[in-house]
Amino acid sequence: MIYIFDTSSLIVTGHYFPERFPSFWKKFDAFVSNGNIVSVREVFNELNAQGVRPHLYDWIKSHQDKFFTPTAEETSFVNQIFVIPHFQNLVGTKERLQGRPVADPFVIAAARIKQGCAITEEVFKDNAAKIPNICQHFGIDYTNLEGFMKREEWQF
């Protein structure tokens, strides 16, 4: 299974300080090295635009090659998402006006095209334009970081 990590879930991994949670990072890095954990370029851009913990910043910089540029197929699927008027709210006014990166549609598209699972800390809310809502609409698998660890039977 391939897991496509959203910005929110990578930020949560930043709470696992490498010196305190070496077994977490050993497993996480093994999944990254095997190609089972990836992300998208826009997540990288969002993380760079936000202030993240220094060890997470160093980690994303050293794994920049795991944040992929969208394929033509993924870009086409992003267009399919935005055909639905309600899902156009996925990109907020603030992001549009300030030209800030927006990763969500690319995370969803990567999960769909790669037949993977979107990992996000967003939660399903009725009538929302959130990753879980859009994934559910299109039949795309999703969970959060804890759900990912449960699926992979990680215990520390």
pLDDT (0 to 100) of residue 99: 63
Q: Which long-range contacts (CB under 8 A, 24 or more apart) does 136-141 make?
A: 137/84, 137/87, 138/81, 138/108, 138/112, 140/108, 140/111, 140/112, 141/111, 141/116, 141/117
The pTM is what?
Answer: 0.94
Residue 20 DSSP class: T
Rg (CA), the chain: 15
Amino acid at residue number 72:
A
Domains and CATH numbers, the chain: 3-151 (3.40.50.1010)
Local structure of 140: helix, strand or coil: coil
- pLDDT tens, position by position, 37-82: 999 999 999 999 988 999 999 999 999 999 999 999 999 999 999 9
CB atoms within 10 A of CB 81: 20
Select from 47, 93, 51, 44 the least CA-distant residue to 68. Answer: 44
Helix (H) or strand (E) holding 142: strand 141-143
Say what the pLDDT of residue 98 is: 66
**Which parts of the chain have pLDDT scores under 70?**
93-99
Which pLDDT value is given to residue 51?
81
Q: Residue 93: its pLDDT value, please?
A: 63
pLDDT of residue 91: 83
Per the CB < 8 A criterion, the answer to whether 41 and 137 are in contact is: no
pLDDT at 56: 97
